[in-house]
Amino acid sequence: NAGVMQNPRHLVRRRGQEARLRCSPMKGHSHVYWYRQLPEEGLKFMVYLQKENIIDESGMPKERFSAEFPKEGPSILRIQQVVRGDSAAYFCASSPGLYYNEQFFGPGTRLTVL
Amino acid sequence: DQQVKQNSPSLSVQEGRISILNCDYTNSMFDYFLWYKKYPAEGPTFLISISSIKDKNEDGRFTVFLNKSAKHLSLHIVPSQPGDSAVYFCAASEAGANSKLTFGKGITLSVRP
């Protein structure tokens, strides 16, 4: 019974490069959430997606960040032209569907921007 | 604007004793509350939750208490074990299915053998 999977676990990018973070939800889960954790902070909501739809992107920076959850394959969080301030742990969570409040988290991707 | 506050950054408890972790919130629209446990370099693990229609929920050694009028909840762990040493996050969501979670900054619990 595989949990939420994220890859890569660690990602190093130079300023100006693109970062792609992948998330495969738990089997049977069709709702995906992305959160970011800066050092010494709690997790901050970024975006909530269902298959092929963005439901809530109120926590996503307006520029350089985008997310998708295609019909087939994992959810992708894309950060273009990364800057040092993007260095953080990015966590993906999934839930099975409507009226289910608990979210189950993956191990995270630690992005370091040099 | 911190809507979920965990004002004590750390707590140290003797093994076998009770650990009480506190959490306050300001958003009156929150109606579901969760506690997560997190080890370094891992993702948060769901521990226990409570709906606003209840004031207590218990699961083994873990009990969560909710005081809606005070906008306060607490997690009790009894008896505390060294393996409980981790960061504990309080989180909340508003009414409605699949609402985003708002997290506190976390409390580092150390259980001394």
B26-50 tens-digit pLDDT: 999 999 999 999 999 899 999 999 9
∠ CA(A10), CA(B104), CA(B17), 5° rounding? Answer: 100
Residue B23, pLDDT score:
97
**pLDDT bracket for residue A98 (50, 70, 90):** low
Q: Average pLDDT over chain B, rounded to whole?
A: 94
Mean predicted confidence (pLDDT) in B103-107: 95
How many angstroms separate the CA atoms of B59 and B63, rounded?
6
Q: Is the pLDDT of residue A99 over 90?
A: no
Residue B98, pLDDT score:
66
B70 in contact with chain A, both atoms CB, cutoff 8 A = no
Decide: A81 and A99 in contact? Cβ < 8 Å: no
Q: How far, in Å, are A42, A54, B12, B59 from residue B75 at the CA level? A: 17, 33, 15, 11
Mean predicted confidence (pLDDT) in B3-21: 95
Q: Is the pLDDT of residue B55 over 60?
A: yes
Min Cα–Cα distance to chain A from B93, Å: 8
If one counts every other C-beta atom within 10 angstroms of the C-beta of residue A99, the result is 9
Strands A10-13 and A109-113: parallel
For testing the chain A interface, which of B3, B34, B100, B102 should be mutated: the one with the most A CBs within 10 Å? B100
- Beta-bridged to residue B79, according to DSSP, are none
Q: Average pLDDT over chain A, rounded to whole?
A: 93
Mean predicted confidence (pLDDT) in A79-91: 97
Q: pLDDT of B59-84, one tens digit each?
A: 999 999 999 999 999 999 999 999 99
Residue B91, pLDDT score:
96
A18 in contact with chain B, both atoms CB, cutoff 8 A = no
Residue B2, pLDDT score:
86
Q: Is the pLDDT of residue A2 over 80?
A: no
Residue B97, pLDDT score:
61
Chain A hits for B106, Cβ within 8 Å:
42
Name which residue leads in pLDDT, A66 or A42. Answer: A66
Give the A:B interface size as CB pairs under 8 Å: 69
Name which residue leads in pLDDT, B22 or A100. Answer: B22
Mean predicted confidence (pLDDT) in A33-43: 92
Mean predicted confidence (pLDDT) in B83-101: 89
Residue A101, pLDDT score:
78
